[in-house]
Amino acid sequence: MIATPALPKPVLSVVIPTYKRERYIRRCLDFHLAAFADAPFPIEIVVSDNCSPDGTPALLMEYAANPMLQPVLRGRTGNVYENMITAYHHARGDFVTYIGDDDYLIPEKIYEYVADLQQNETIVALYAPWFQIDETQDNATIGQFFGLDEIARFGRDDVAAAMNLVLDRHIFPEFAIFRRDHVHAIVDLNQDQAYWAFVWMTRALLQGEILFMPEPFARITAVSANDKGHTGNEEVMVSWDRYRGGLEFAIAPLLDQGRLSAAEYQMLRAKVDQFVAQRMYVAVNFHRAARNWIEAWLLNRRLTFAGMPNMRGADLADARTLAAFQSSVREAIRLGADKIAVDPSIPDALIAMLPQTEQDRLTRSPQESAVIAPWTRALIVFQKDFAQPISQHDLVVDLNDSLRRFQ
């Protein structure tokens, strides 16, 4: 950890994990250090760098003279949750909140909500929706993630009511202000089976009271200009089963304690199924936008079983063809092809619908095919006369076979 000037014991710690995001963390620090310069109580900003190989550690050294900043330099790179929990461990405030390095807190709402927590000692966590912003539009607000009509307050005997609110309003309890005395009984690293936000909310509720406020205290990046993607969007595409795990984790104590009737259990189970299906539906849209046709197709099959398919008719037929073609390309790549010759009867328009990284691996000329042993050429065929004669040492993927796999 970097030595920093002394700061009075903070009332609020803002924890920010970062990794290889020098431009973002500079912008984030510039905003928050200025925004909180005249805060009505001491605030510290804890930035945990995940052993970045770029200029991020040097940037933190540059800002270290500001007593509001507490930089933490990890000695090795871990996953995003390890970095986040490292930041939580270094927090010294009475209260702790988390944001990403491309997000922005709303100072006036932070001051208001911290005051609410100071006046209500039984509240362990305060949750709120958030504004969604688009970095490609100069961080313009493009929406709000979930909405509430009024303040909702729950105690440890109100788990069922809290879960009904979460499921009915499609709430993701991701942005909270925690009371630090309880935070290490809430946060942890076990994220594989159950989505962290639902697990942490449940633990907070078992520690004391939780509060849902209707007005956001943060502006969160939903659309990023970062060409390497955005962690939140990536989770949307793959985390639906962990969402289910988190919701089931929350409801399980009610079953242990015999506090759900058979009818109440069936109702909550149906709501969980609907919640997860809606997230899968959103995931299909994200995969289609990213041109991940195989993933979109397979998810749509699961949604068909759930009774709410994302794609029908012509959309479904197009997705089937694209998934089959993408499957052919990926099979050739994984089996040793660097450059794959594509049958000229396969239209250019189909190739253009693949991600650019996959398009770059394709050629129309069998002579330009490039492979590793034991292959001599890599071919995606559709008509039987392409690239004849074909030998047993050619890596041949027949699009007709792929189409039969996607039915």
For the purposes of burial, counting CB atoms within 10 Å of the CB of 175, is it exposed (0-12), middle (13-18) or buried (19 or more)? buried
Whether 52 and 191 share a structural domain: yes
Residue 4 belongs to some domain of the structure: no
Whether 157 and 299 share a structural domain: no
Residue 314 belongs to some domain of the structure: no
Whether 186 and 276 share a structural domain: no
Residue 393 belongs to some domain of the structure: yes
Q: Residue 43: beta bridge partners?
A: 12
Contacts 24+ apart (CB under 8 A), 398-403: 398/328, 399/324, 399/325, 399/328, 399/343, 399/346, 402/324, 402/325, 402/327, 402/328, 402/331, 403/320, 403/321, 403/324
Please count the structural domains in the chain.
Answer: 3
Residue 230 belongs to some domain of the structure: no
Q: Which pLDDT belongs to residue 246?
A: 95
CATH assignment at residue 97: 3.90.550.10
How does pLDDT run across 38-90, given as a tens digit for each residue? 999 999 999 999 999 999 999 999 999 999 999 999 999 999 999 999 999 99
Whether 124 and 218 share a structural domain: yes
How does pLDDT run across 12-38, given as a tens digit for each residue? 999 999 999 999 999 999 999 999 999
Residue 374 belongs to some domain of the structure: yes
Whether 292 and 342 share a structural domain: no
Whether 215 and 163 share a structural domain: yes
Distances (CA, A) of 89 to 17, 208, 215, 321, 326: 12, 21, 28, 50, 44
* Residue the block writes with tokens 């986040």: 84
The residues, ordered by sequence, that sit 6+ positions from 70 with a Cβ below 8 Å of its Cβ are: 1, 4, 44, 45, 46, 47, 90, 92
Full domain range(s) for residue 278: 238-306
Whether 218 and 333 share a structural domain: no
Q: Mind listing the pLDDT tens digit of every residue in the chain (407 residues)? A: 555 566 689 999 999 999 999 999 999 999 999 999 999 999 999 999 999 999 999 999 999 999 999 999 999 999 999 999 999 999 999 999 999 999 999 999 999 999 999 999 999 999 999 999 999 999 999 999 999 999 999 998 899 999 999 999 999 999 999 999 999 999 998 878 999 999 999 999 999 999 999 999 999 999 888 755 556 667 888 888 899 999 999 999 899 989 999 999 999 999 999 999 999 999 999 999 999 999 999 999 999 999 999 999 999 999 999 999 999 999 999 999 999 999 999 999 999 999 999 999 999 999 999 999 999 999 999 998 999 999 999 999 999 999 999 98
CA angle 222, 204, 171 (to 5 degrees): 35
In the listed set 199, 224, 249, which residue is the last one of a domain according to the structure?
224
Whether 325 and 301 share a structural domain: no
Whether 119 and 262 share a structural domain: no
Whether 16 and 128 share a structural domain: yes
In the listed set 279, 306, 333, which residue is the last one of a domain according to the structure?
306
Residue 233 belongs to some domain of the structure: no
Whether 191 and 83 share a structural domain: yes
Residue 88 belongs to some domain of the structure: yes
In the listed set 306, 335, 354, which residue is the last one of a domain according to the structure?
306
Whether 97 and 199 share a structural domain: yes
User: Within a 10 A sphere around the Cβ of 174, how many other Cβ atoms?
Assistant: 19
